[in-house]
């Protein structure tokens, strides 16, 4: 009887005195203004944007995302080539420095939804799950906008 009462108390003590568990990357990141660029016509591919704030003292990396909206999903960046033309390249990760921020915005890094299954409705919100390099995940609602 005594042990039965004592065990939970002992366990609670152990939990309280052990060092805090490291927060996973998804929990360390705050996001701002997630949105999808819905064009005036039906598009096959479209871009998603948001700003990521890393509230931890460790670097954080987004390594991909999952969505039911498109057949596949890629991380992209944009750069100006020698011909002066803007082009997109696939990247494997988007890194956010400790206590830093990274904006995914038109003309720069973005989430690329490839082979969209259905047109998006401006004003509607759609679920996208970001995946981080430690395997943690964060599901967000992205608003479809027609810029």
- Could you tell me which residues come within 8 angstroms of residue 7 by beta carbon, excluding any fewer than 6 positions away? none
Residue 91 binds to Cu ion (criterion: CB under 5 A): no
User: Per the structure block, which two tokens stand in for 21?
Assistant: 């568990």
How many residues bind Cu ion (CB under 5 A)? The answer is 3
CA angle (114, 120, 123) in 5-degree steps: 135
Question: With 0-12 CB in 10 A as exposed, 13-18 as middle and 19+ as buried, what is 140?
Answer: middle
Question: What are phi and psi for residue 84, nearest 5 degrees?
Answer: 80, 5
Nearest approach, Cβ of 28 to Cu ion (angstroms)? 26
Nearest to 143 by CA among 131, 125, 127: 125
Cα-Cα end-to-end distance for the chain: 68
Residue 76 binds to Cu ion (criterion: CB under 5 A): yes
Which lies closer to Cu ion via its Cβ, residue 76 or residue 138? 76
Which lies closer to Cu ion via its Cβ, residue 79 or residue 99? 79
Considering only residues 4 to 63 of the shown chain, the ones binding Cu ion according to CB under 5 A are none
| Stretch of residues binding Cu ion (CB under 5 A), selected from 25-33, 59-67, 106-114, 122-130 | 106-114
Residue 112 binds to Cu ion (criterion: CB under 5 A): yes
Residue 114 binds to Cu ion (criterion: CB under 5 A): no
Q: Which of 88, 91, 114, 140 binds Cu ion (CB under 5 A)?
A: 88
- Which residues in this chain contact Cu ion in the complex, by CB under 5 A? 76, 88, 112
């Amino acid at each position: 009887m005594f042990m039965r009462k004592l065990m939970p108390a002992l366990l609670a003590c152990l939990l309280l005195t052990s060092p805090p568990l490291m927060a996973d990357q998804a929990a360390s990141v705050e996001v701002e203004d997630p949105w999808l660029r819905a064009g005036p016509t039906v598009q096959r591919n479209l871009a998603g944007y948001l700003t990521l704030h890393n509230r931890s003292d460790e670097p954080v990396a987004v390594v991909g995302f999952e969505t039911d909206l498109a057949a596949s999903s890629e991380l992209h960046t944009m750069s100006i080539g020698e011909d002066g033309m803007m082009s997109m390249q696939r990247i494997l990760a988007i890194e956010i420095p400790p206590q830093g921020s990274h904006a995914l915005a038109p003309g720069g890094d973005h989430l690329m939804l490839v082979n969209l299954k259905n047109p998006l409705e401006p004003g509607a919100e759609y679920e996208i799950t970001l995946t981080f390099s430690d395997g943690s995940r964060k599901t967000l609602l992205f608003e479809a906008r027609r810029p």
